[in-house]
Amino acid sequence: MAKILIVDDQKSVLLTLEALLIKDNHLVTACMNSIDALDKLTNEHFDLMITDAIMPGGATGYALIRTVRSNPQLAHLPVILLTGKREKADIERGIESGANDYVVKPVDPELLSAKIQNLLAKTEKDTAHFVEAPVHAKAEWETKTEIMAVSELGMTIKSNIPMPLGMVTRISSSLYEDIGISKVPLRITACEETKTATETFYKIQVHFVGLTEKELTPLRLWIRSKKTF
């Protein structure tokens, strides 16, 4: 259970989000503008914030996130940007403003729930409910890396160097074409040193940032085709 702040100028959206979050046993506080949201954030503790990208009066979710990131006490608050826009430029803008992830309206309840859970999670075990397809695909990431597994949420990557948590990056791999998705940004959520009898490497968990609803379909189909029974 987490305490979540939701910010949207549409009451219908707030009610929908509130119902979804309460169903997952979260405590929810709703605001209809960024001014009220900042007041709540200043006076109360929250585990996560979901904010609309565009709100009336010239205030935007992007500006709200930048303000949050500039406050040392709030800088590490997980943030999901909610918007009706699907263009890559808007996704990039959300990432640059400091959003941890991006959800397109209309909201997919299962996807939102999974993204919230994984932003709040502190161990790899919290992502175990996602079906992963084992793969051995080469990729470029400042050094030679190997993609070990793929899920709807992201990838498990094998690397010989550690990567800082929270960093947003990209990797190049033919696997994107095989799956049928674009080379979206990746946010590093976990980095664990792993030792075997023959080698020492880092197992890195990354989440897709801004993967569109349209791209989720081929990703799900690809994972199912690789799943072993």
pLDDT at 184 exceeding the cut of 50: yes
- Topology of the domain covering 124-226: Thrombin, subunit H (2.40.10)
Domain with CATH 3.40.50.2300 in the chain: 3-120
Number of Cα atoms under 13 Å in the Cβ half of residue 72:
0
3-state secondary structure of 171: coil
**129: which 2 tokens?**
């409910």
Domain with CATH 2.40.10.220 in the chain: 124-226
User: Mind listing the pLDDT tens digit for each residue in 2-41?
Assistant: 999 999 989 999 999 999 999 999 999 999 988 899 999 9
Q: Comparing 193 with 212, which gets the higher pLDDT? A: 193
Q: What is the pTM of this model?
A: 0.57
The second-level CATH assignment, the architecture, of 3-120 is 3-Layer(aba) Sandwich (3.40)
Among candidate residues 152, 38, 168, 204, the one with its CA nearest the CA of residue 96? 168
Q: What are phi and psi of 12, to 5 degrees?
A: -65, -40
